[in-house]
Amino acid sequence: MKELILEALRESVKRYPDLVQHLSDKATWIAIEGDLSLWQAKAITQVRNGEPALCEFDSALIPDSVAEVVKNLLAYADCEEQVKQDFIDLKSFVIQPTPNEKRILSRIELERKLTKVLSKDLQDELKKLLNYLGNPPNLSNVPYSYWQTGWKLIAKHAEPILVDFFVSQAIEAMEEVNMAVDVVTLSTDAIQWATNNSEQWLQQAFNKTYEGVNVLVPKAYEEGWTITELAKKLEDYHYSPVRAEMIAITEMTRAHTEGRKATERHYFEQFGVHRVPIWKTANDEKVCPVCGDEMRLDMPITDDMYPPAHPRCRCRINYLAEKFLTPKQRGKWQSK
């Protein structure tokens, strides 16, 4: 049935090309994707023959605005892979993400950036540690300063990303209620928070690593591991990309919470009213056992415990005026 409707849509657009401008993003994509893949095939053939990827394509369906973008992209494509990538990217141009999708995408993008930064820094710290340990590894070779200063460098790299996210979260919340946005004040809030916060979580992370290394190195000695085996274990337990990702996700959530809280302080200054913080789960966290609790989810926060509730928590908060609370929410709010 669905295929029949899609076919009818394609046929109608073929007959009345002007229809395209009245279609939604997704319908446009369905109507033109057949022609676009022919265009892609043509460009690929050109590249294979050693000719430029840029080529004209005669289509009654593809709107001029889209054709223009295709030609711009192809002008810079110099290999088959690039041509394919261009047509993939084109889809996200034609189908504009909804505000909610955009919000999730920008968070994921920053999360990846932070994970990458942290992964690299952890790798560097591991290299430094192995250098100090020497072969055979000796713990007393590692200066205490290694555990005290390493995290400061990581903080310097991570903070700007967290500051960015804090500010974007605050602005988003302010725009929702048409508040005047003062980016300078927000940035000051954000930098102050990020500095204090990274001192805490990174020093904690390093303390944990310190304890772990103090267990692993003697074990390596007792069990006769090679230095490569020890390095592998150190990486897996303490310096891995998985750990970097876990830290990135959790700290991004903290930045979100703090950005929202900052907005709320400014809201109070401006309107003299306190609103109610509501715990919202992330779209991908439906089964999170900690946050899926029905006394927590979509309910007012009354115990001053804000997300993240656990490592890798992607929960959010939303502030609501008291008059918008449901009876169930109101019950919990008033019992605090």
Residue 300 CB, nearest approach to Zn ion (Å): 16
Q: Is 291 in the site for Zn ion (CB under 5 A)?
A: yes
The 10 Å Cβ neighbour count of residue 293 is 12
Residue 111 CB, nearest approach to Zn ion (Å): 14
Residue 298 CB, nearest approach to Zn ion (Å): 13
Residue 305 CB, nearest approach to Zn ion (Å): 11
DSSP one-letter string for 189-213: HHHHHHHHHHHHHHHHHHHHHHHHH
Residue type, 229: E
Residue identified by tokens 């991004």 is 252
Residue 102 CB, nearest approach to Zn ion (Å): 21
Cβ-based nearer residue to Zn ion, 227 or 309:
309
| Tokens standing for residue 141 | 């070779």
**Candidate ranges 3-11, 16-24, 56-64, 301-309; the one touching Zn ion (CB under 5 A):** 301-309
Q: How far is CA 76 from CA 62, 72, 302, in A?
A: 20, 7, 55
Q: Is 301 in the site for Zn ion (CB under 5 A)?
A: no
Cβ contact 335:302 at 8 Å: yes
Chain CA centroid to CA 70, Å: 28
Of 122, 162, 220, 288, the one binding Zn ion (CB under 5 A) is 288
Cβ-based nearer residue to Zn ion, 163 or 291:
291
Of 313, 317, 325, 333, the one binding Zn ion (CB under 5 A) is 313
Measured distance CA(74)–CA(66) in Å, rounded: 12
Residue 313 CB, nearest approach to Zn ion (Å): 3
Tell me how many residues contact Zn ion (CB under 5 A).
Answer: 5
Cβ contact 128:146 at 8 Å: yes
**Candidate ranges 83-91, 166-174, 263-271, 280-288; the one touching Zn ion (CB under 5 A):** 280-288
Count of residues in the chain: 336
Cβ-based nearer residue to Zn ion, 90 or 114:
114
Contacts (CB under 5 A) with Zn ion, residues 254-273? none
Residue 306 CB, nearest approach to Zn ion (Å): 11
Is the bond into 160 cis (omega within 30 degrees of 0)?
A: no
**Candidate ranges 47-55, 58-66, 159-167, 284-292; the one touching Zn ion (CB under 5 A):** 284-292
Cβ-based nearer residue to Zn ion, 20 or 291:
291
**Candidate ranges 14-22, 53-61, 139-147, 312-320; the one touching Zn ion (CB under 5 A):** 312-320
Q: How far is CA 204 from CA 124, 184, 215, in A?
A: 18, 30, 17
Q: Is 315 in the site for Zn ion (CB under 5 A)?
A: yes
Cβ-based nearer residue to Zn ion, 186 or 291:
291
Cβ-based nearer residue to Zn ion, 70 or 317:
317
Q: Is 81 exposed, middle or buried (0-12, 13-18, 19+ CB in 10 A)?
A: exposed
Closest by CA position to 249, among listed 156, 158, 123: 158
Residue 291 CB, nearest approach to Zn ion (Å): 3
Helix/strand/coil percentages in the chain, nearest 5: 70, 5, 25
Instruction: List interacting residues with Zn ion (CB under 5 A).
Output: 288, 291, 309, 313, 315
